[in-house]
Each structure stands twice: as structure tokens, then as C-alpha cells.
Amino acid sequence: MSFCLALTDADWALTKDVFSIIGTIASAAGVGLAFYVGLVGLSTWQRQLSGTASHELAKRALIELYKFRESLDRVRNPLMLASEFSPTVVSTGPQSEAVSRYLGRCSAYDERFRLVTEARRNLDVVLLEAEALWGSDLKLLVKPLNDKSWDLYHYIENHLLSTDPRIDQAERAAYVDINKGQPNIMYRRSDVSKDDFARSFNQDLSKTEVYLRRKLA
């Protein structure tokens, strides 16, 4: 007796159809599985890419913030070297020496604030990227720092105008009055605990650092 069952032509045709259907189902399942694995891999890659972009942006933001802080610290340096005075500043007339010294100081502060403007511009680029990726949180945290930089600019501007030898005493006194009653933030102090501007700036900067370091984690 044979252990092999004889298949009729009809049985064989049916068997082939069954195997064909099973093969199609298996093929479709394989494609579906590959598609699912591909989606999971794409999602993982996107999360990794987003995490990398967030990490790099947070690092750049911290660096630009520190450059901004350093540029303001340079503005407040009470020591002004002769090399900072523009060699093109020349004045003539009875007050030529006093005017030349005054214009020299103005040119030195112009250069110092040019570096502040450059640092702020670079920081603004990072803030735009951060707003696109994280929303407006970082921009709001940095705003008090920007406000303080403008406070410093206006204070020094008023101080310089109050010492301008080219204008009359009454006009100079008016600029003195503008700064009167405000904290003297023009020069930094070696003791930060006695430097209201630096202490307040660093407090606001610390809040920004906490936010960005979370993005670095």
C-alpha cells in the first residue's frame, strides 16, 4: 500500500490555487511588516534628528548669550585705552583739545556698542530658530536682557551729551537731570554684589540658562 495519495488533476489545480493565495498573503504581510518597520524607523530617526537639532540650537543660544553678556561687560569697562580712540577724530577751534577728547570718547563707545549690536544680531538669528522649534519661550526670557542693554545705551548716551563741550551749560544740565535718580550703571564694579546692573542681568541670564540646559539634557 502506497503512503502517497494520488492527486487528481482537479485536486492539483485546487492545491496550486491555495498555495498561490497563501503566497500572496505572505507576500502582502511581508510588505506590510516592512512598511511598519520603515515607519517606526522613520519616526525614531525624526525624533533623533529633532533631538540633535534641539541640542545644537540650545548650545548655540548659550554661546551667543555669553557673547552678548561679554560685549556689555566690555562697554562698562571703566578703563578706556588710547587705542580705542579713533585716529580720525580731529577738532579745530578754541576748544579743540576738549572737543577732540570728547569725540574720542564718543568714538570709543561707538565701537564698544558696535560689538553689542553685532552680538545682539547674532542672538536674534538664534531666537528666530528657537521660536520655530520651541515657540516663544526663549524670546520672552531674553527680552529683559535686551531691555537692560538699551537702558545701558541710553544712560551712557545721556552721560556723554551732558559732557559735550560743544553745547551750552543749560542743555548739558538737562541731560544730567535725565540720569539723575537712576542707578549709575555706566561702569562695572569689581564686587558684583555691589553692581546692581550686573547682578540683575545675571539673575535674568540664569533663568535663560536653566531653560536652555534642559534642552541640552
Q: Read off the pLDDT of residues 121-157 as tens digits, 9 standing for 90 and up.
A: 999 999 999 999 999 999 999 999 999 999 999 999 9
Quick one: pLDDT band at residue 179, thresholds 50, 70, 90? very high
pLDDT beyond 60 at 54: yes
17 in a structural domain: no
Q: What is the mean pLDDT of residues 103-115?
A: 94
The predicted structure's pLDDT at residue 15: 52
Neighbours of 83 (CB within 10 A): 7
23 in a structural domain: no
Structural domain span for residue 73: 58-216
Quick one: pLDDT band at residue 49, thresholds 50, 70, 90? very low
Q: Read off the pLDDT of residues 15-43 as tens digits, 9 standing for 90 and up.
A: 555 445 555 554 555 555 544 444 444 44
Quick one: pLDDT band at residue 7, thresholds 50, 70, 90? very low
27 in a structural domain: no
Quick one: pLDDT band at residue 81, thresholds 50, 70, 90? confident
Q: How many domains does the chain have?
A: 1
Closest residue by Cα to residue 115 from 143, 83, 159, 84? 84
Residue 119 grid cell: 552680538
The predicted structure's pLDDT at residue 1: 44
99-112 per-residue burial string, b: 16 or more CB within 10 A, e: under 16 = bbbbbbbbbbbeeb
Quick one: pLDDT band at residue 11, thresholds 50, 70, 90? low
The predicted structure's pLDDT at residue 46: 44
77 in a structural domain: yes
51 in a structural domain: no
Report helix angle 137-162 to 196-216, nearest 10: 160
Neighbours of 35 (CB within 10 A): 10
The predicted structure's pLDDT at residue 169: 94
31 in a structural domain: no
pLDDT beyond 80 at 84: yes
Residue 153 grid cell: 545705551
pLDDT beyond 50 at 4: no
Quick one: pLDDT band at residue 186, thresholds 50, 70, 90? very high
Sequence-distant (≥ 6) Cβ neighbours of residue 104 within 8 angstroms: 85, 86, 89
**pLDDT above 70: percentage of residues in the chain:** 72
178 in a structural domain: yes
165 in a structural domain: yes
3-state secondary structure of 3: coil
